[in-house]
Amino acid sequence: APERLTIVLPEDATADRDAVERGMRAGQILGEATCLARTLVNLPPNICTPQHLAETARQVAEAHGLRLQVLDRAEMEALKMGALLGVARGSAIPPQFIILEHQPERAAEGNSIVLVGKGITFDTGGYSIKTSEGMVAMKNDMAGAAAVLGALQAIAALGVPRHVVGLVPATFNMISGNSYLPSEVLTASNGTTIEVISTDAEGRLILADALVYAARYKPAAVIDIATLTGSIVVALGNAAAGLYTTHDELRQALLAAAEATGERLWAMPMFSDYEKLIESKTADIKNSGGRFGGASIGAVFLKRFADYPAWAHIDMAGMAEDLPNNPLYPSGATGYGVRLLAEYVRRATTQ
């Protein structure tokens, strides 16, 4: 990286100097936050554990004046987070539930935004095991968590006057003698029972308990971001993430933020037809509805746990790393979502 950067303005542009300096500073903040997310996703899974994500959150909190709370397994059990704990059961490395909070003094009460990031630090698929080829990239299954941590760092450093909460449910999805099994019934923290059809549809399970937890903030908006499905990659390739919401204003706000940052979104359907595909004979719902329309099925599953006026789900599975047609990210992690989420929060606060 260069040690010094000089920008030369025209002689008659002195009035714009402050604006240029503000823009440069904002660019630096967003670049550093994006690089934080990229570094996390690039790390091998023996280093980027749930505990490493929690430690990174601690460093961000200390550097930027954020409030941090990390729930351990016992605290999750007290909150009856049975969906998250079911996934975590197979790993010898315990789960973490990370709560990172930006609450400036001038933030208005009752106007919170909650960002939720999927933090599967490695996904074997569990007993619905992935192929070796399909498994090798699964260290990136915490890219949503990385995006949320990076976005909170950027939002705090930019001084956005809004109460913003980042939630990261973090765990491995492993195979062991204690792993959860297909046909088990898990109970989420809102009492919803879930039949496990596929242990490889674990992301929606850990997000379910996080989305329930988000309701305690009485949020104006909740956005979750996750490498949720391979189906979204089939639909959109590496060109855009899928956007799911039934809230028109939130949809337009996120699409505008995507346009401004170049972190593309494409609005996807949530027809009621998909809801029928997660009906279960042995529980309230099941965690997989078959191979067709898989990304939309994942979204309607999550919607069952989003009990607030405005919620959106971003499936970024095709955008996490290795975008061959994008000159910015031809190889390695992209840090997708950091600038998108930060820009959405900034616009929602200032406009």
| Signed CA dihedral, 268, 168, 51, 88: sign only | negative
> 22-43: string of b/e by CB count within 10 Å (b at 16+)?
eeeeeeebbeebbebbbbbbeb
Cα(344)–Cα(258) distance, rounded to whole angstroms? 8
Closest CA to 172 of 217, 208, 203, 129: 203
Cα(319)–Cα(157) distance, rounded to whole angstroms? 25
Residues 214/221, Cβ–Cβ less than 8 Å? no
User: The tokens of 88 are what?
Assistant: 């975590």
| Signed CA dihedral, 288, 293, 295, 301: sign only | negative
Catalytic residue among 204, 303, 339, 346: 204
Active site residue 130: yes
Active site residue 204: yes
Kindly report the backbone phi and psi dihedral angles of residue 103, in degrees, each rounded to the nearest multiple of 5, phi listed first.
-135, 80
Catalytic residue among 58, 73, 130, 251: 130
Query: First and final CA of the chain: distance in angstroms?
Result: 35
Which amino acid belongs to residue 174?
A: M
- To 10 degrees, the CA torsion angle through 271, 114, 170, 266? 40
Indicate which residues carry an active-site annotation.
130, 204
